[in-house]
């Protein structure tokens, strides 16, 4: 895709805008031939990068993707501190919503894996809600063994397993499932179907979505701590290593 890449804490991110990124992914999803392999899209946020410092295999996996969205305001701040142009924050949830709208217009076939962490009752409800909102999209639950997946060609496959597991699932299945684009989307479909409540747009615009989530879901405090305090310290440490001429990642 067009645009530059910037590396933060050893992970390459695509410097782009939401509109450019969306147009690129739509174009790739619509490609009927000419590419020997699918396009892999990951959506790293600060928590991903913290985990990637502890797990080098995960870091390597993130760096093997074709596109890494800048899915977190903290990544934009880190880019400013480290003098690396990461472009604007591109919310994976916003991209997924607009992709589904595009898919509804163009009657795409979309595969979904890991919906509601495999809970059959909840995933069934999620698919029912998706079909109501996007009636022209053919959604297939890739966790449902009744489908012969090899019989289908998907414009996009969405992996919803959550950090690390969804990226590993994509890499293990990218050559087994015929799809133009694979994308790790975390809980994006939960927001679109009402299983989770997203922060108001004003809160998201000023970069405080993490605080809103913490106030509404205190059980996520450990994740918020990693994405803010731990991530912030790692960025500061890299900045200091640059200032004092030490090796940085």
pLDDT by 10s per residue, the chain, length 249: 545 789 999 999 998 888 888 899 999 998 755 457 899 999 999 999 999 999 999 999 999 999 999 998 999 999 999 999 998 999 889 999 999 999 999 999 999 999 998 888 999 999 999 999 999 999 999 998 777 787 889 999 999 999 999 999 999 999 999 999 999 999 999 989 988 776 667 766 766 676 656 656 666 678 888 888 999 999 999 999 888 876 544
CB 179 within 8 A of CB 155: yes
State the maximum Cα–Cα separation within the chain, in Å, rounded to a whole number.
59
pTM over 0.95: no
Give CA separation, 140 vs 2, 16, 92, 116, in Å: 31, 30, 20, 14
């Amino acid at each position: 895709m067009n645009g530059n890449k910037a590396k933060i804490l050893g992970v390459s991110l695509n410097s782009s805008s939401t509109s450019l990124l969306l147009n690129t992914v739509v174009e790739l999803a619509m490609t009927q031939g000419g590419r020997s392999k699918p396009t892999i899209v990951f959506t790293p946020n600060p928590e991903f990068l913290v985990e990637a410092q502890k797990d080098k295999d995960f870091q390597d996996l993130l760096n093997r993707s074709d596109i890494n969205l800048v899915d977190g305001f903290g990544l934009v701040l880190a880019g400013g501190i480290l003098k690396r142009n990461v472009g604007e924050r591109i919310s994976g949830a916003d991209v997924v919503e607009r992709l589904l709208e595009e898919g509804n217009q163009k009657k795409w076939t979309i595969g979904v894996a890991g919906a509601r962490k495999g809970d059959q009752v909840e995933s069934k409800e999620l698919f029912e809600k998706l079909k109501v909102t996007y009636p022209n999209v053919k959604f297939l639950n890739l966790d449902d063994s009744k489908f012969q997946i090899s019989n289908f060609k998907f414009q996009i496959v969405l992996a919803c397993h959550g950090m690390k597991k969804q990226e590993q699932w994509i890499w293990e299945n990218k050559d087994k499932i015929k799809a133009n684009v694979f994308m790790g989307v975390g809980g994006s479909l939960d927001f679109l179907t009402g299983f989770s409540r997203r922060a108001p747009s004003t809160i998201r615009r000023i970069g405080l979505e993490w605080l809103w989530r913490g106030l509404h879901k205190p059980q996520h405090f450990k994740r918020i701590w990693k994405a803010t305090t731990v991530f912030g310290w790692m960025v500061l440490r890299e900045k200091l290593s640059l200032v004092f001429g030490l090796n940085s990642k």
